[in-house]
Amino acid sequence: MKIFDNPNEASRYAWDILTIGTFDGIHIGHRRIIEHCLSKGKTLVVTFDKLPRRVMGEDVKMLTTWEEKIKLLNGLGVHGVLRLKFNEQLRNMEPTEFIHRYIAPIAPKRIVIGENHRFGKNRKGDANLLKAMGWRVEVIPLVRIDNNVVSSTYIRRLLMECEIGAANRLLGYPYTISGKKIKGAGIGRMLGYPTINLDISEDKLLPGDGVYGVRVNHSHPALLHIGGSPTLGLPFRVELHLLVFDDKKDVAYWEVEILTYLRPNYTFKDIDALIKCIEEDKERFLKMEALWKNVRPVWR
């Protein structure tokens, strides 16, 4: 897959299909669009380096970082990606100028967009404008599950409400976070439950506070804790407790597939009660062997 930073670079190649969108999360609705494009020919995805809503001042977190988005698009078989820097200039660009500047030089045979896609200043650009400018356009209908439109916004809400199963169903793969190992307080090790503390990008959406059953680096079942620990008096953190130990426990970077929500963060009466609950979490998740052994992300 080729990655371009300006339309002139992309214009050196012939493209059958071009699709435009933020594509945050690459959920099943996005995949319907992309798979349709790929069925028609050589496909270029035009997307943005950051969430437009963040540039507009909204406090919204990403489902996928740029690196994760590229990994997913590559796994789907996309031929090329044009990365546009979303800034105030792009935000205030008239839709016709956007097309002349970023799409026309590429000269795709056809443009494919989602039903609710809009572009340009005040989101005035749509399929009708593209058609009026002479482009061949296909519009892909929205995907609905249980009467809900599949959208990145809806998936964010599900994750923040700890509805991991529902979010993963709409994503089509386990929601994933990743980060470098950082030094912790060492309290978990003293309790007999050593943890790996993770440094997660501040732009990445974390699910709601609680304890989750996860798989790390595509192999290890683990418990993930997000939030503070009232019992131990510890502040907010993201930490893993591996349930199977081997030489990989010393790796510096961890990829975490979040599979199921186990419980909220409780305040325990004492340390013994906390340890007992961790043991119960561990036993409960290990019994879900089919969940953490069989899951496969879409890019593998």
Same-domain pairing of 188 and 137: no
User: Residues 144, 222: one domain?
Assistant: no
92 and 189 share one domain: no
CA 26 to chain centre: 7
287 vs 149: CA distance, rounded Å: 33
Same domain for 233 and 272, yes or no, is yes
In a domain, 60, yes or no: yes
What local confidence, expressed as pLDDT, does residue 97 receive? 97
Report how many domains make up the chain.
2
Q: Is residue 161 part of a domain?
A: no
Burial class of 16 by CB neighbour count within 10 A (0 to 12, 13 to 18, 19+): middle
With respect to residue 162, please indicate whether it lies within any of the assigned structural domains.
no
pLDDT value at position 245? 63
User: 111: domain CATH number?
Assistant: 3.40.50.620
Neighbouring C-beta atoms of residue 201, cutoff 10 Å:
14
Looking at the fold, whether 181 and 47 belong to one and the same domain comes out as no
pLDDT at 120: 92
Same domain, 20 and 143: yes
* Cβ atoms of residues 208 and 263 within 8 Å: no
Q: What's the confidence (pLDDT) of residue 299?
A: 41
Q: Can you give the length of the chain in residues?
A: 300
Do 72 and 143 share a domain, yes or no?
yes
Question: Does residue 133 share a domain with residue 222?
Answer: no
50, amino acid identity: K
Give the CATH number for residue 248.
2.40.30.30
How far does Cα 241 stand from its chain's mean position? 23
Q: What is the pLDDT of residues 214-227, one digit of tens each?
A: 999 887 899 999 99
> Do 131 and 182 reside in the same domain of the chain?
no
Domain enclosing residue 86, as ranges: 2-149
pTM of the model: 0.91
Exposure string of 91-113, with b = 16+ CB inside 10 Å and e = fewer, is eebebeebbeebbeebebebbbb
Work out the burial of residue 128: count CB atoms within 10 Å of its CB; fewer than 13 is exposed, 13-18 middle, 19 or more buried: exposed
- Adjacent-strand bridge partners of 296: none
Quick one: 26 and 131 in the same domain?
A: yes
Tell me: do 12 and 75 sit in the same domain: yes
pLDDT confidence of residue 139: 97
pLDDT of 300 reads 37
Q: List the chain residues with pLDDT less than 50.
A: 298-300
Residue 157 lies in a domain: no
- Which pLDDT tens digit goes with each residue over 4-19? 999 999 999 999 999 9
Tell me: do 62 and 178 sit in the same domain.
no
